[in-house]
């Protein structure tokens, strides 16, 4: 017997609720676990959220890092995200199950945007845009930094895994991460989505 069937026998009407990508979600109405955790598993959506794919050519495979304490503007969305984030056991800043990272302007993604970084070996790294790389610090395509990186993780440098820090490359954190980025899947979802589907 399903829960709904049981409720019906007790005279209680059970109305299924379907979560869709274009629902007008209000943070105050979401479970107390948090907005990011509510949306953290995009694969559970009945209707997959809209997204755009951006192919990445000639990535060296390097994935650098930046310290989260370099984000100091308290009026910025970057800073607001850090107040929601936590540091995992490896020193990486995360919201829910997603890593906070910096990417270039080529991907047309605002701070707070959800995206998946798909590697050539098929690995998917679930991310949130935590910082935007300045065009001054990227190449002419606004994808790669001078060191060839296109995915820069935001970390707590004090507890970052020593072998990652020594190499300056987060690819060495997990064996499956040691592969070039193939494409970014940029979702039409943001950590700052408010009621009405607009970003505050």
- Residue ranges of the domains in the chain? 50-190
According to the model, what pLDDT value does residue 193 have? 77
What average pLDDT does range 54-81 have in this prediction?
96
Rounded Cα distance, 81 and 76, in Å: 9
According to the model, what pLDDT value does residue 1 have? 47
pLDDT digit string, tens, across residues 157-193 = 999 999 999 999 999 999 999 999 999 999 999 999 7
Question: 80 CB contacts (<8 Å, ≥6 apart)?
Answer: 192
According to the model, what pLDDT value does residue 26 have? 36
Q: Which residue has the higher pLDDT, 167 or 20?
A: 167
Percentage with pLDDT > 70 across the chain: 73
pLDDT at 98 over 60: yes
Banded pLDDT at 3 (limits 50, 70, 90): very low
According to the model, what pLDDT value does residue 25 have? 33
- From residue 47, give the alpha-carbon distance in Å to each of 22, 51, 97, 117, 158: 9, 12, 21, 21, 41
In the chain, where does DSSP find H-type helix? 3-9, 35-39, 77-84, 162-167
């Amino acid at each position: 017997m399903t829960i709904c069937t049981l409720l019906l026998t007790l005279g209680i009407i059970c109305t299924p609720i379907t979560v869709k990508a274009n629902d007008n979600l209000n943070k105050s109405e979401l479970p107390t676990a948090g907005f990011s955790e509510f949306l953290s598993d995009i694969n559970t959506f009945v209707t997959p959220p809209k997204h755009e794919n951006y192919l990445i050519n000639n990535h060296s495979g390097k994935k650098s890092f930046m310290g989260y304490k370099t984000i100091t503007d308290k009026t910025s969305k970057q800073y607001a995200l850090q107040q929601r984030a936590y540091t995992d056991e490896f020193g990486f800043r995360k919201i829910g199950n997603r890593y906070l990272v910096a990417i270039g302007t080529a991907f047309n993604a605002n701070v707070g945007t959800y995206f998946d970084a798909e590697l050539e070996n098929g690995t998917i790294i679930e991310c949130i845009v935590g910082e935007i790389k300045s065009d001054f610090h990227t190449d002419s395509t606004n994808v790669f930094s001078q060191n060839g990186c296109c995915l820069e993780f935001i970390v707590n440098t004090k507890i970052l895994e020593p072998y990652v820090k020594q190499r300056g490359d987060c690819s060495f954190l997990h064996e499956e991460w040691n592969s070039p980025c193939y494409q970014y899947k940029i979702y039409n979802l943001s950590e700052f989505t408010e009621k009405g589907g607009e970003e505050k």
